[in-house]
Amino acid sequence: MKMAKLKHNNGYNFLAGAIFGLCFGFIISTWCRNKFIPCSPSFSKSGCCPRKLQPAFETDQQSITETNKVIPNNVYIEEEDEKGFLFVGIMTAKKYLDSRVVAAYKTWARSINGKVIFFSSEGSHSTHDIPIVSLKNVDDSYPPQKKSFSMLKYMSDHYLNKYEWFMRADDDVFIKGEILEQFLRSVNSSRPQFIGQAGVGTKEEIGLLSLGSTDNYCMGGTGMVFSRETLRLLAPHLKYCVNNLYTTHEDVEIGRCVRKFAGIPCTWSYEMQKLFYQNFKEYKGSFVDTLLDKEVQTAITMHPIKEPIYQFRINNHFSSTRIQQLRQKQLELHRAISEMNQVLNENSPFDKYGLKPSVNSFIPNKASEVIGWEFVNSKTVSSHLNVNPRKGLTSYRKDTMDDIVSETMDIINRNSRQRGRSIDFKEVLYGYSSIDPLNGPNYILDILLTYRKHKGKNVNVPVRRHAYLHQSFLKTQITESPLTSEPDDSNSQISPHIFRALRGPLQNTHLDKLHETIHFILPLAGKVREFERFMNIYEQICLSRKENAQMHIVLFTKNSSPEEVEEILNIAGKYQKKYRSDLIEVIEADGDFARARALDLGAKQCAMDDLLFCVDVDILLTREALTRIRLNTIQSTQIYYPIVFSQYDPSVICEGLCKIGMTNFTAKVGYWRQFGYGIAAMYRSDLEKVGGYDISIQGWGKEDVDLFEKFVMSNLTIFRAVDTGMIHAFHPVTCDINLEPSQFQMCVGSKATILASQYQLAEMVLGMKEVLNRNMDTKV
């Protein structure tokens, strides 16, 4: 079975143009706020998007006018040239005016090309600026037959000649406005039409609904659509219908009325069940678990949304899909420009974003520039970039793969209906991925698919395909830093704020922030020599330079000998005497050493707005580290978790003969402590907000991971980055033989990891003849 060939390019099969919006850092916020208004040429006066919008949704200002028009006395004010595509009337009740109505109005209602008005009982008022009609002589009793027919009457009285289509919907539905419009434009609205999901009643109801054996009705929940012609035929008889009800089912009665006076049934089409989608899968509704299901993706209306908050979640989901489509379109336009430039053969500017997609567009000039590919399968990544050659797929990589596959499938199935076939995804057998730093990530995937033919004889076969995918970077987008100081680059072409942001963090920052006081919190028990070294560095980078810094030493006296305590106090006293004594404080703590309690005690000495730096006595600091602590920690927003460089044992590295400085960042000298969370900078208010350190944790370790996890769960951002200004100096580990066997094992293990690099240890072992090959001597 041969599958339709994919597009060719450079000898590769191409599923071109899955795109990927890499925002370097930030997205300009206004861009995110864009509403996606469908462009429909037939309603565009100038023939060019964006067209004039329906007033109710243009701005908040105008929707207020709209509200005033409808609510107070329920008097309709004629709008001169109001003409639109779709009028949606939503049936609601007083108790939902502040919940479902708001959620619907703020989400999908904006996607409707036309007007959305909510219909409620007499005396309904909204405290929000939402167009609500309170129907005279209608209450909120159930079943809402009267409400429904009154709404249809209102629609035909006021809007019949102004809109092409009319929809009756519930307040717990989600409607994809753009797709509904696309769909309706394929239907002739000059004919009577009654569109929705056809129902004949449940098993128990059959025979009780007074329906003929071939009669149906459009189900209310998922919404029903009338063409103008239908409503026109219906309008004079609405009164008759409401006075001649056979059942208490409002939708059944509308169906009966339409059949009788417009002479048509609800659309008898299997497809409508998919387009007007009723969620039977989730007991509680709201599309919590089924949002990514194929049926939900293809649906036009979704029902029910039981929890109004989920309207927003669903809306976000489809908006981001739309963003992706628009980005794709943007990319295609860039490509068109590029192509035209070539045809024109002018000296037109080169459009980098219009490059043809290719997994080979990066041209290396040197052997070292050749980009390597990582090998990926459904569970693991094997990479030359990791120290560990094979790793499990992280969740973000897995999500990326899922995204790529789903986009790929969309592209493959784009014309599947016309071709009478569809291709379903089975699995990714394996793949390669790489990042071209100029153009974007590339993928080569070996995918297992199932080919299904619908037309003619049913065919169903597995096929295997290679897909070559390229995601293009979009233009860099930046946001201005809120820390920007007064502009002074008046001769600059770009906004001085942006210019400054580009020059780097140091120049664009408010002066106060650069000189903010850092509160060092240093837990201590014994370790006099290390403390001496730490204070020596502290003097160089802070005290002698009059840096704004304050030292809080938390000393556990029980774990230190009296001599040690005395010596530590002497050292601290020496600096207190030499500099202002209030800059260094020693807090004596009782009980056994607990790092969590130490940091907690230290933090309690500070005010809520103070910037804390939790540090260890083994850390060597540079002055640059201070600047980074200040800039990377933002109150109520960001916590700074530096990744420090951990040095190996100097006596092993080079038998103590070499000098190891603060800038020796080689694999031989040390490693980045990816898994260390002990060193952190945060504001006290943020520490308190997440509940602070867990002071029930004894000894070293665990308290830091616990706090890190609390921050991860909070709405604060964690900025975790390598800091070349913080070094964890080697200190010998002694493992107490009296420890529990398991703890002893762990201690020996960590002792081994900080000894030297694996490579060097291996070299050492290789150098030991007696270890490597005991038989060597006898052989020689």
Ligand X SMILES: *[C@@H]1O[C@H](CO)[C@@H](O)[C@H](O)[C@H]1NC(C)=O
Residues found near ligand X in the complex (CB under 6 A): 188, 190-191, 636-637, 653-654, 658, 660-661, 664, 666, 669, 715
Beta-carbon contacts of 449 under 8 Å, excluding residues fewer than 6 positions away, are 3, 412, 423, 424, 425, 426, 462, 463, 464, 465
Inter-axis angle of helices 595-604 and 703-713, nearest 10? 60
The residue type of 710 is: K
Q: Which is nearer to ligand X, 190 or 365 (CB)?
A: 190
d(CA 777, CA 780): 5
Q: What 3-state DSSP class applies to 460? A: strand
DSSP 516: P
**Residue 661 CB, nearest approach to ligand X (Å):** 5
Do the strands 638-647 and 670-672 form a parallel or antiparallel pair, or are they unpaired?
antiparallel
In terms of CB distance, is 141 or 316 closer to ligand X?
316
Q: What are phi and psi of 133, to 5 degrees?
A: -105, 120
Question: How many whole angstroms separate alpha carbon 422 and alpha carbon 374?
Answer: 31
For residue 577, the minimal CB distance to ligand X (Å) is 36
| Whether the Cβ atoms of residue 96 and residue 175 lie closer than 8 Å to each other | no
Rounded distance between C-alpha atoms, residue 571 and residue 550, angstroms: 16
Cβ of residue 209: shortest distance to ligand X, in angstroms? 31
CA dihedral 315, 318, 322, 323 (to 10 degrees): 70
* Residue 716 Cβ vs ligand X, minimum distance, rounded to whole Å: 6
Q: Is the alpha carbon torsion for 667, 672, 675, 678 positive or negative?
A: positive
Instruction: Give the pair of three-digit tokens for residue 388.
Output: 């560990």
Task: Report d(CA 434, CA 440) in Å as an integer.
Answer: 9
* Residue located via tokens 């539905």: 173
Give phi and psi for 172, each to the nearest 5.
-115, 35
| CB 759 to ligand X: min, Å | 14
Tell me the C-alpha distance between 523 and 615, whole Å: 8
| Of 190 and 368, CB closest to ligand X | 190
* Residue number, 636 or 745, with CB nearest to ligand X: 636
Beta carbon nearer to ligand X, 228 or 597 = 228
Comparing CA positions, the residue from 21, 763, 730 lying closest to residue 353 is 21
Closer by beta carbon to ligand X, 356 or else 668: 668
CA 325 → CA 18, 36, 318, distances in Å? 10, 11, 11
User: What whole-number distance in Å separates Cα of residue 455 and Cα of residue 227?
Assistant: 32
Nearer CB in complex with ligand X: 450/666: 666
CB of 689: closest distance to ligand X in angstroms?
7
Nearer to ligand X, 97 or 716 (CB): 716
CB nearer to ligand X: give 71 or 652. Answer: 652
By C-beta, is 264 or 572 nearer to ligand X? 264
3-state DSSP assignment of residue 736:
coil
Q: How far is the CB of 164 from ligand X (least distance, A)?
A: 12
* Pair of tokens at residue 714: 């909070």
The Cα–Cα gap between 148 and 250 comes to: 7
In the bound complex, what is the minimum distance in angstroms from residue 191's beta carbon to ligand X?
A: 5
Rounded-to-integer distance, Cα 757 and Cα 771, Å: 19
Residue closer to ligand X, measured from CB, 689 or 702? 689
Smallest separation (angstroms) from ligand X to the CB of 190: 4
CB atoms inside a 10 Å sphere around CB 474: 18
